[in-house]
């Protein structure tokens, strides 16, 4: 494709079916950047957006990671494409591991693979947090635990299994694993069952009694913070936790310091989404995990004025000084189908550590917050097709 002086620059957004690619398209498309949404799926809700200028087909990263990478490189090699936004864990991993291939064509705003491994490996991440003086739950490999009398959580050591991290996967193989099991005191989980579920040696963490959950988002440039953002997660995918489906923007200087100390220890570059738990007794912010990509609650982040897709674009184009990182406090936004999922979790999910809320109170709280904060991640009157398409796809899968 030959670029003329009249052609706008393009951004490549590999989306899979991730709906939080939508604010990337919306933010940049309305600023005159040509948006290219690419996926291995034919029917993707964001393809219907009026801010999606072009679509492209990709191989599935689940079937062949290297074929997916090569297809991304081919798209990045187009003369008009200036950068690639990492939306999924696969994207951040590939942009980092194969940095030289991508950097030959576009700006690459991700950390080096050695740094990325310290984040994807939750044992190394806990060690890094301890070095930075940041609170983190006691974290050990499963086989290193011989005392199960306390409250424990078993979870995947890596949320992305890939050949850079584990010897069970070749270069063309990768998969995301996000299993979490709450273990009652005195009950030792069966190791073989855990291995079968997670397909690698998991970790064991102490359970942290939590009063609130928070997210800290940032864009860094070679160890220096360019923009940061915070929100309090009021409801997640489930009453036991998970990604946020209703959140409100906030600011806490202690949370800011904890996050900056950690990212400084990592000498971070690019995007970071850090999840924190506020200890119910001490008020300390305990690290949960870091995602080196765009995040599920990105639409609410942008609605509060923290336009990270635009920030990312400006940094990738050498325009860091044009970034205004201010945002509005107290802004809430709902992921509507996520709110429904939270309600369902009250009926179906179980945890020995988290008290189940009542269905009536939960329904009232959801309704009250929708009336008080009538902002929604994907329901936009000036661009309704992504939301309608997403609802249709969700209903068709449930049939």
Q: Which domains does the chain have, with CATH numbers?
A: 10-108 (3.40.50.720), 138-206 (no CATH), 210-398 (3.30.470.20)
294: three-class secondary structure by DSSP: coil
Name the nearest CA neighbour of 378 among 234, 218, 245, 230.
245
Q: Helices (H), strands (E): how many in the chain?
A: 13, 16
Cα–Cα distance for residue pair 94/259, rounded to 1 Å: 25
Any bridge partners for residue 152, and if so which? 183, 206
Nearest 5 degrees, angle CA 207-CA 157-CA 133? 60
Predicted confidence at residue 1, as pLDDT, reads: 40
77 secondary structure, DSSP code: T
- Furthest C-alpha separation in the chain: 69
Contact 41, 16 (CB under 8 A): yes
User: Tens digit of pLDDT for each residue in 169-199?
Assistant: 999 999 999 888 889 899 999 999 998 899 8
pLDDT by residue (tens digit) across 119-134? 999 999 999 999 999 9
Span 64-84, pLDDT tens digits? 999 999 999 999 999 999 999
**pLDDT for 244-293, tens place per residue?**
677 899 999 999 999 999 999 999 999 999 999 999 999 999 999 999 99
Confirm if 264 and 218 have CB atoms less than 8 A apart. Answer: no
User: Could you give the count of Cα atoms lying within 13 Å of 8 in the half-sphere of its Cβ?
Assistant: 14
Length of the chain: 399
pTM as predicted: 0.89
**CA-CA-CA-CA torsion sign (367, 368, 370, 371):** positive
Question: Using an 8 Å Cβ cutoff, are 205 and 277 in contact?
Answer: no
Token pair 């957004």: residue? 13
Mean pLDDT for 307-323 is 97
């Amino acid at each position: 494709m030959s670029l003329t002086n009249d052609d706008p620059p393009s951004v490549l957004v590999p989306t899979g079916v991730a709906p939080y690619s939508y604010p990337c398209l919306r933010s940049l498309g309305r600023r005159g950047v040509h948006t290219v949404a690419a996926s291995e799926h034919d029917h993707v809700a964001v393809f219907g957006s009026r801010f999606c200028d072009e679509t492209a087909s990709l191989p599935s990263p689940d079937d062949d990671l290297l074929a997916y990478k090569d297809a991304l490189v081919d798209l990045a090699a187009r003369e008009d494409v200036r950068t690639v936004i990492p939306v999924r864990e696969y994207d951040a991993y590939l942009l980092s591991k194969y940095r030289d291939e991508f950097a030959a064509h576009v700006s690459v705003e991700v950390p080096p693979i050695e740094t990325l491994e310290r984040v994807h490996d939750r044992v190394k991440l806990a060690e890094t947090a301890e070095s930075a003086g940041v609170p983190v739950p006691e974290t050990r490999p499963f086989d290193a635990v011989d005392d199960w009398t306390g409250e424990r959580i078993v979870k995947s050591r890596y949320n992305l299994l890939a050949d850079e991290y584990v010897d069970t996967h070749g270069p063309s193989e990768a998969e995301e694993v996000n299993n979490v099991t709450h273990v009652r005191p005195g009950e030792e989980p069966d190791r073989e069952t855990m291995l079968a579920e997670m397909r690698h040696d998991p970790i064991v963490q102490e359970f942290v009694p939590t009063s609130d959950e928070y997210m800290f988002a940032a864009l860094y440039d070679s160890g220096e913070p360019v923009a940061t953002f915070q929100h309090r997660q009021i409801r997640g995918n489930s009453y036991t936790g998970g990604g946020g489906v209703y959140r409100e923007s906030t600011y806490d200087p202690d949370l800011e310091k904890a996050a900056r100390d950690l990212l400084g220890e990592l000498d971070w570059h690019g995007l970071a989404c850090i999840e924190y738990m506020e200890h119910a007794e001490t008020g300390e912010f305990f690290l949960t995990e870091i995602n080196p990509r765009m995040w599920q609650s990105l639409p609410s982040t942008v609605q509060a004025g923290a336009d990270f897709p635009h920030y990312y674009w400006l940094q990738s184009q050498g325009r860091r000084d044009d970034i205004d990182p201010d945002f509005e406090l107290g802004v809430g936004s709902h992921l509507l189908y996520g709110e429904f999922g939270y309600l369902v979790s009250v009926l179906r999910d179980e945890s020995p550590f988290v008290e189940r809320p009542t269905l009536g109170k939960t329904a009232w709280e959801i309704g009250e917050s929708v009336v008080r904060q009538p902002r929604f991640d994907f329901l936009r009157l000036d661009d309704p097709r992504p939301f309608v398409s997403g609802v249709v796809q969700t209903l068709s899968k449930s049939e």
